[in-house]
Amino acid sequence: MALDLNNKNAYYLLGRYVAVVERSNNEPFTSGQLHNIQDNPANLMRYDRFKTKFMASRQQIMSNLSAEGWPDKVLEDADGGRFWLGYYHQKAELPMFVESVTHHTPDRVAPVESNEIDELRDA
């Protein structure tokens, strides 16, 4: 199932917007932050540190949101399902997180003077 750009369900849109904010911050939300957002969707704006990133996605989501805005109640089971569906659909459409990778050389491996393959090749 792909991202539904025409879905106007507030919970689906909230999930999409959470995914956009998470990616723009370039770090995943903690479970506590997600719980806080699900308890009161207005809390999402408190976590949005880079409001100008992914503007096209943000504008598209907001254009589908009704005049009432985000729901102001705790998400129930069906609402939570729509939230997570929107979250994962949007997350799949956004670029992946960029994380620095550190390569470690194991210090327990001693250099080998001769290599069996070299010895076989020379024979």
Greater confidence (47 vs 42) lies with 47
Question: How high is the pLDDT of residue 48?
Answer: 92
Average pLDDT over residues 95-115: 56
Residue with tokens 């504008």: 59
Greater confidence (68 vs 82) lies with 82
- With contact defined as beta carbons under 8 Å apart, do 108 and 38 qualify? no
% of the chain surpassing 70 pLDDT: 78
Domain boundary assignment for the chain: 10-93
- Cβ neighbors of 29 (< 8 A, separation 6 or more) are 18, 22, 37, 47
Give 123's pLDDT tier (boundaries 50, 70, 90): low
Question: How high is the pLDDT of residue 68?
Answer: 81
Q: How far is CA 108 from CA 53, 101, 104, 105, 111, in A?
A: 44, 21, 12, 9, 10
* pTM for this entry: 0.73
